[in-house]
Amino acid sequence: MKLNFLIVGDWGRKGTPGQRSVAAGMARIAKRFESRFVVTTGDNFYDHGVSSLDDAHWRESFENVYTSPALQIPWYIVLGNHDYQGCIQAQLDYTKTHPRWRLPARYHAVEYAIDATASALLVFLDTTPFVASYRAESPEFMESLKDQNPEVQCAWLRKTLSVSKAACKLVFGHHPIYSASPFHGDTLELQDGLLPLLHEYGVQAYICGHEHDLQHLVVDGVDYIVCGAGAEWRTTGWRDHSRCSASTLGFSAVSLTSDCLYVDFYNDQGRRLYSLEKPLEPLAKAVALNA
């Protein structure tokens, strides 16, 4: 058995040609592999989030774009910095009336069975409050950020990771911990706040957006996936830790078995560009089997 799902990031641009092209590619792959759900890596609505539950953005950027039957599945939402320029509460409230939209809190987690012997923990973080420059230089963020404490979120993450017996632990955020792109690059605050927890609790991969490209980097045994090309792309870069950097529209597809994590990059035409195969540690599987 397999657990299959898609990832798309930096996507909500009112149905631009690039966004619709990626949506069509996602529909083809979701149908082919019977994807169970979609994960977003943030910046769900450009440029200034949504203003309310009645904002036309909901229709123009979501409901009227991802119309394929194969995409009428749960969408687990991560918030991005552009979402913070609008009404975060509206994105939270949309969950209550639209079952496809899954954002019960600014950060949240869900566990899915891979098969009868193993499960996967998916953790969705809210990384914008970690970035000091938004508080110091961007007044438009302050209203939504003022009550958000990164230390509280880190404590929640530690507890969530520590109690889970999942064979695979994947953490999603918007900002990259590591990135080879010349546009944004590494997020030092996440290296300080999140990185120790990823190593301490055996997280296999951290998956994000923010950079409008597709990247795979490996640092100290953890895989870092950047998937932020859901509506537009920028020229990316390369560094010693890079395994793939693609300047293209696209998305990712994940497939999990009880002993392996597979991540594929696809362009907007649904053509596979790159594949990652990461065996899961036997110790992690043993914990899941004995749960």
The pLDDT value recorded for residue 254 is 98
Taking residues 253-280, report their average pLDDT: 97
Q: Strand 214-219: give its sheet, edge to edge.
A: 108-113, 119-124, 168-172, 205-208, 222-227, 214-219, 242-246
Q: Where are the alpha helices (DSSP H) in the chain?
A: 17-33, 57, 88-97, 132-137, 139-145, 150-163, 188-193, 195-200, 282-289
Average pLDDT score over the chain: 95
Calpha distance 124→174 (Å, rounded)? 9
Interval 154-175: pLDDT, tens: 999 999 999 999 999 999 999 9
**What are the backbone angles phi and psi of residue 155, rounded to the nearest 5°?**
-65, -40
Are the C-beta atoms of residues 174 and 131 closer than 8 Å to each other?
A: no
- Amino acid present at 58: W
The pLDDT value recorded for residue 1 is 83
Tell me the pTM.
0.95
pLDDT band at 137 (very low <50, low <70, confident <90, very high): confident
- Catalytic residue flag (residue 184): yes
- Between 199 and 135, the higher pLDDT residue: 199
Taking residues 133-142, report their average pLDDT: 83
What's the token pair of residue 78? 């991560």
The domain segmentation of the chain, as residue ranges, is 3-289
Are the C-beta atoms of residues 278 and 204 closer than 8 Å to each other?
A: yes
Q: Which of 184, 210, 212, 216 is catalytic?
A: 184
Q: Is 187 left (phi over 0), alpha (psi -120 to 50) or beta?
A: beta
Calpha distance 8→6 (Å, rounded)? 7
What's the token pair of residue 113? 């069975």
Residues in the chain: 291
Calpha distance 276→161 (Å, rounded)? 23
Taking residues 221-245, report their average pLDDT: 97
- Amino acid present at 240: D
Residues 6+ apart with CB under 8 A from 137: none
CATH topology of domain 3-289: Purple Acid Phosphatase; chain A, domain 2 (3.60.21)
The pLDDT value recorded for residue 282 is 55
Taking residues 62-70, report their average pLDDT: 98
pLDDT score of 39 more than 80:
yes
Taking residues 251-267, report their average pLDDT: 97
pLDDT score of 288 more than 80:
no
The pLDDT value recorded for residue 140 is 82
Are the C-beta atoms of residues 187 and 127 closer than 8 Å to each other?
A: yes
